[in-house]
Amino acid sequence: MPLKDVLLDELRDMYSAENQLVKALPKLAKGAKNPKLKQLFSVHLQETKGQVERLKKVFAELGEKPTGQHCNGMEGVIEEGKDALEKNEENASFDSGLIGAALRTEHYEIAGYEACISMATTLAMPSVAKLLNSSLKEELAAAAKITAAGTPIMRQSAQDPEGLKKPKTGKEKYSAKKSKEDEAKAAPDLQRPTV
């Protein structure tokens, strides 16, 4: 497969990811208890809408359509964000879970944009790389803002008294079971010496 086709697949993946986030970010903003976190999610929603438009410009420049691929990775990351929203946590601990989910999302996007920029640069497409770099800078800034806003929230969460252990939900029990299965599958490979 030519590198340009790989780039197109990656760009379609990013386009799907950003569109999924347009739907997910309002839920994070609504669910967040900390006002600063709510505001960050709302502001980043507007940036994300701009990133969708920027990707449309990239596809127009390439003479291609943006649709045709679903980003399963972002779907999974968003599902983790939904899980954080459903947690039965209280106080700052709840928002700490949202911060973790948001940072995973940002870093997924950062990796995607970096890969696309590298391919566009290799293919001598400076205008495409420039458009993508604008989105990358926004993602890096969003991750930094979430981290900065999250620090006092996590400090507060660390000071919260430990409450009674709540029973696990069915989803949490299923996740714990899958985690044990993952560990068991990886165990033989972890015991082999590395070369």
Cβ burial of 140 (10 Å; 0-12, 13-18, 19+) is middle
Position 193 in a domain: no
Position 195 in a domain: no
Position 117 in a domain: yes
Of 47-56, 75-84, 85-94, minimum mean pLDDT range: 85-94
Position 119 in a domain: yes
- The answer to whether residue 111 scores a pLDDT higher than 60 is yes
From first CA to last CA, the distance across the chain in angstroms is 31
Position 118 in a domain: yes
- The answer to whether residue 61 scores a pLDDT higher than 60 is yes
Q: What is the mean pLDDT of the chain?
A: 90
Name the residue range of residue 84's domain: 3-188
Global confidence as pTM: 0.86
- The answer to whether residue 163 scores a pLDDT higher than 70 is no
Amino acid letter for position 155: R
> Which of 10, 21, 1 is CA-nearest to residue 111?
10
Encode pLDDT of 114-153 as tens digits: 999 999 999 999 999 999 999 999 999 999 999 999 999 9
* Number of Cβ atoms within 10 Å of the Cβ of 155: 11
Q: Helix %, strand %, coil % for the chain, to 5?
A: 80, 0, 20
Q: For position 173, what pLDDT does the model report? A: 74
Of 23-32, 119-128, 152-161, minimum mean pLDDT range: 152-161
Q: For position 164, what pLDDT does the model report? A: 47
Cβ burial of 144 (10 Å; 0-12, 13-18, 19+) is exposed
3-state SS, residue 54: helix
- The answer to whether residue 14 scores a pLDDT higher than 90 is yes
CA distance 145 to 7: 29
| Mean pLDDT (whole number) for 165-175 | 67
27 band by pLDDT with thresholds 50, 70 and 90: very high
83 band by pLDDT with thresholds 50, 70 and 90: confident
Query: Considering its fold, how many domains does the chain have in total?
Result: 1
Q: For position 180, what pLDDT does the model report? A: 81
Position 132 in a domain: yes
Task: Name the E strands within 47-152.
Answer: none
Where residue 174 sits, what CATH number does that domain have? 1.20.1260.10
Position 41 in a domain: yes
Q: Which residue has the tokens 């879970």?
A: 97
